[in-house]
């Protein structure tokens, strides 16, 4: 997959942008490109990172099926033509004055603000976890710096205890944390060491996905690998020296000692400036308080939000963003013309591997499952794995980031 030759350079800070987008991940880039394709003339993005990542590939990096270089592009190479890039970080939004202040002391006015900076790892929520990452016996595909280290570690495990955690909501497509677990178990079974391992999966809810018709396939896969499943549970503490973890369960604390490895995903929260700016929903995670249908702030009519950081009442995913971008682009135009707003129905996609070369493509919205029109629509398929691993990255870089949603 060739790297685009055009590279945008960071802009000197504009004094004002008609549409100011905070965040240059999937949400921010896709939306800016879509707005520009639809005729918007003044769009700017605030994003401090020089690197843009296609995060779904990190799970395949952690399974030895993708190279780390395939995940990343320079941010400047994905900024849409005609969009200004302010390489800076937001410190606070003054919604009353229609302005943001940045870490470097800039003040940028806006006509419309779209908040989509993504979530941040909340290391403080799990004492000791970050030290265990540093020690090397814990890691996850969710943390970009850790993802390349996951497969060498899992591949080298031959005996002992291994723990995989699914993070509680909010999290970036939390169910895909099952991918490394099930791909690793398939590898261990193929190499004849699975019987010598004690594998535990920690679920924050009762069921893996909460989708009728799909969970049955995942439960069958977990049983086939002999995995212990702790339900309605979460990681509460880590001892980086003793290589042990504490897990809260409905039946009391559960401890696993002398771990060979822990694929322990950190908890997540929104950037603190969202709450500091009066945009938060009052939850501990501090998500942006919006109408989950229209995507508009409940308190500030010129502020909107999409992606992981928005209180959308659905599972976050790249597939969800595709729908959110389409709805939001239309709603920004409708709001400017005083027309009725459209509603996002909570559509999302949860792609979960059940082995190294089979995947379930699970679609749902707020009403329930949206199965594909196929026999056994949620059954794991090799074709679905190939689509997720090889086709979607091409679609992402060649179409979605160019506003072709």
Residue 54 lies in a domain: yes
Residue 296 lies in a domain: yes
Residue 379 lies in a domain: no
**Residue 356 token pair:** 């190294």
Both 172 and 160 in a single domain? yes
Q: Does residue 8 surpass a pLDDT of 90?
A: no
The packing angle between helices 147-155 and 178-190, to 10°, is: 30
Residue 367 lies in a domain: no
Torsion of CA 389, 395, 398, 404, to 10 degrees: -160
Both 112 and 135 in a single domain? no
Residue 75 lies in a domain: yes
pLDDT tens-digit map of 235-253: 999 999 999 999 999 999 9
Strands in 166-214 per DSSP E? 197-202
Both 176 and 147 in a single domain? yes
- Domain span including residue 47: 16-119+270-347
Both 69 and 196 in a single domain? no
Q: Does residue 161 surpass a pLDDT of 50?
A: yes
Both 294 and 195 in a single domain? no
Q: What is the mean pLDDT of the chain?
A: 96
Predicted pLDDT at 6? 61
Q: Which of 323, 347, 371 is a domain's end point?
A: 347
Both 145 and 48 in a single domain? no
Q: Does residue 96 surpass a pLDDT of 50?
A: yes
Both 48 and 145 in a single domain? no
Both 182 and 248 in a single domain? yes
With cut-offs at 50, 70 and 90, classify the pLDDT of residue 405: confident
Predicted pLDDT at 9? 73
pLDDT tens-digit map of 369-390: 998 888 889 999 999 999 999 9
Mean pLDDT of the 134-143 span: 98
Q: Does residue 1 surpass a pLDDT of 60?
A: no
Residue 390 lies in a domain: no
Both 78 and 135 in a single domain? no
Q: Does residue 2 surpass a pLDDT of 60?
A: no
Mean pLDDT of the 58-66 span: 98
Both 317 and 234 in a single domain? no
Name the domain count of the chain.
2
The CATH number of whichever domain residue 152 belongs to comes to 3.50.50.60
CA pair distance 338, 69, nearest whole angstrom: 45
Residue 130 lies in a domain: yes
Q: Does residue 90 surpass a pLDDT of 80?
A: yes
Predicted pLDDT at 294? 98
pTM of the model: 0.95
- 361 burial level (CB within 10 Å; 0-12, 13-18, 19+): buried
- What is the C-alpha R_g of the chain? 21
Q: Does residue 12 surpass a pLDDT of 70?
A: no
* Residue 338 neighbours by CB distance under 10 Å: 6
With cut-offs at 50, 70 and 90, classify the pLDDT of residue 87: very high
Residue 374 lies in a domain: no
With cut-offs at 50, 70 and 90, classify the pLDDT of residue 13: low
Q: Which of 347, 372, 398 is a domain's end point?
A: 347
Q: Which of 222, 243, 267 is a domain's end point?
A: 267
């Amino acid at each position: 997959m060739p790297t685009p030759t055009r590279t945008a350079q960071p802009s000197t800070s504009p004094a004002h942008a008609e549409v100011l987008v905070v965040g240059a991940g999937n949400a921010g880039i896709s939306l800016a490109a879509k707005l520009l394709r639809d005729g918007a003339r003044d769009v700017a993005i605030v994003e401090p990172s020089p690197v843009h990542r296609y995060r779904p590939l990190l799970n395949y990096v952690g399974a030895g099926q993708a190279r780390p270089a395939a995940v990343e592009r320079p941010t400047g190479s994905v900024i849409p033509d005609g969009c200004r890039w302010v390489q800076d970080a937001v410190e606070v939004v003054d919604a009353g004055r229609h302005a943001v202040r940045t870490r470097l002391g800039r003040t940028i006015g806006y006509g419309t603000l779209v908040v989509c900076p993504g979530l941040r790892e909340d290391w403080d929520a799990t004492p000791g976890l970050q030290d265990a990452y540093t020690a090397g016996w814990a890691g996850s595909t969710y943390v970009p710096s850790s993802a390349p280290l996951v497969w060498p570690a899992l591949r080298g495990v031959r005996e002992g205890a291994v723990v995989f955690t699914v993070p509680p909501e909010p999290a970036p497509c939390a169910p895909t944390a099952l991918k490394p677990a099930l791909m690793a178990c398939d590898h261990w079974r193929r190499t004849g060491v699975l019987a010598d391992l004690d594998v535990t999966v920690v679920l924050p809810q009762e069921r893996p996905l909460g989708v009728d018709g799909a969970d049955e396939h995942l439960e069958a896969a977990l049983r086939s690998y002999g995995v212990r499943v702790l339900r309605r549970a979460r990681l509460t503490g880590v001892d980086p020296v003793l290589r042990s973890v504490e897990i809260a369960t409905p039946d009391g604390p559960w401890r696993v000692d002398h771990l060979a490895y822990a694929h322990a995903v950190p908890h997540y929260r929104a950037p603190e400036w969202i709450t500091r700016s009066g945009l938060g929903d009052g939850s501990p995670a501090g998500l942006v308080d919006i109408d989950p249908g229209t995507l508009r702030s409940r308190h500030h009519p010129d502020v909107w939000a999409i992606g992981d950081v928005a209180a959308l009442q659905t599972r976050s995913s790249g597939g969800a963003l595709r729908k959110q971008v389409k709805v939001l682009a239309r709603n920004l135009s409708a709001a400017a013309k005083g027309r009725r707003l459209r509603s996002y129905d909570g559509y999302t996609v949860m792609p979960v591997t059940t082995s190294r070369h089979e995947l379930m493509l699970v679609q749902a919205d707020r009403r329930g499952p949206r199965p594909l029109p196929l026999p056994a629509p949620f059954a794991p398929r090799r074709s679905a794995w190939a689509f997720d691993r090889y086709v979607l990255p091409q679609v992402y870089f060649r179409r979605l980031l160019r506003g072709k949603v």
